[in-house]
Chain A
Amino acid sequence: MSLPLIKRERIFAAVLIIPCILFITVFAFYPIGYSFYLSLHRIILSLPEIGQPFVGLENYRALLHDKVAMHSLINTFLFVFISTFFELLFGLVIALVINRQFKGRGFVRAAVLIPWAIPTVVSSQMWRFIFNDKYGLFNFILFGTDVSSYKAWLAEPVFAFLAIIITDVWKTSCFAALLILAGLQTIPDELYEAARIDGASAWQQFRKITLPLLKPALLVALLFRTMDAFRVFDLVFVMTQGGPADSTNVLQFYGYKKIFTEGLMGYGSTISVLVFLISFAVAMLYIRFIGTKLFKETA
Chain B
Amino acid sequence: MNRLAFYIVTTLVIFFSLLPFLWFVDTSLKTEIEVTAIPPVLLPSGTLHFYRSSIENYNLLHYVKNSIIVAGSVTVITISISIFTGYAVARLRLKYKGLIMGALLMVSMFPQISIAGPVWRILQSLGWLNSYQGLILPYVTLTLPLGVWIMASFFKELPSELEDSAKIDGCSHTQTLFKIMVPLAAPGVFTAAILVFIYAWNEFFFALLIMTQQEFQTLPVGIALFQGQYTLPWGEIAAASTVATIPLVLLVLLFQRRIVRGLSAGAIKG
Distance in angstroms between the alpha carbons of A27 and B140 in the assembled complex: 9
Nearest CB of B to A36, in Å = 10
Q: Is A118 on the interface with B (CB-CB < 8 A)?
A: yes
Q: How large is the interface on B (under 10, 10 to 19, 20 to 34, 35 or more residues)?
A: 35 or more
**CB < 8 Å neighbour of B117 from A14, A35, A134, A296:** A35
Q: Is B27 on the interface with A (CB-CB < 8 A)?
A: yes
Q: Is A262 on the interface with B (CB-CB < 8 A)?
A: no
Nearest CB of B to A79, in Å = 13
Q: Are A113 and B268 in contact (CB under 8 A)?
A: no
Which among B30-38, B45-53, B54-62, B182-190 touches the partner chain?
A: B30-38
Q: Are A299 and B98 in contact (CB under 8 A)?
A: yes
Interface centre among A29, A135, A150, A224 (most CB of B within 10 A): A135
**CB < 8 Å neighbour of B204 from A111, A119, A260:** A119
**CB < 8 Å neighbour of A9 from B10, B93, B224:** B93
Nearest CB of A to B207, in Å = 9
Contacts of A147 in B (CB 8 A): 38-39
Contacts of B10 in A (CB 8 A): 97-98, 108
Distance in angstroms between the alpha carbons of A216 and B97 in the assembled complex: 22
Q: Are B237 and A183 in contact (CB under 8 A)?
A: no
Q: Are A134 and B38 in contact (CB under 8 A)?
A: yes
Contacts of A230 in B (CB 8 A): 111
Q: Is B192 on the interface with A (CB-CB < 8 A)?
A: no
Which residues of A does B touch, CB under 8 Å? 6, 8-10, 12-14, 16-17, 19-21, 23-24, 26-32, 34-35, 38, 93-94, 97-98, 100, 102, 106, 108-115, 117-127, 129-130, 132, 134-137, 139-140, 144-145, 147, 150, 170, 174-175, 178-179, 182-183, 186, 216-217, 220, 224, 227, 230-231, 233-234, 237-238, 251-252, 255-256, 259-260, 265, 268-269, 271-273, 275-276, 279-280, 283, 293-299
Which residues of B does A touch, CB under 8 Å? 5-6, 9-10, 13-14, 16-18, 20-21, 23-24, 27, 35-40, 81-82, 84-85, 87-90, 92-95, 97-98, 100-122, 137-138, 140-142, 144, 148-149, 152-153, 156, 173-174, 198, 201-202, 204-205, 208-209, 219-221, 223-224, 234, 237-238, 241, 244-245, 248-249, 251-253, 256-257, 259-260, 263-264, 266-270
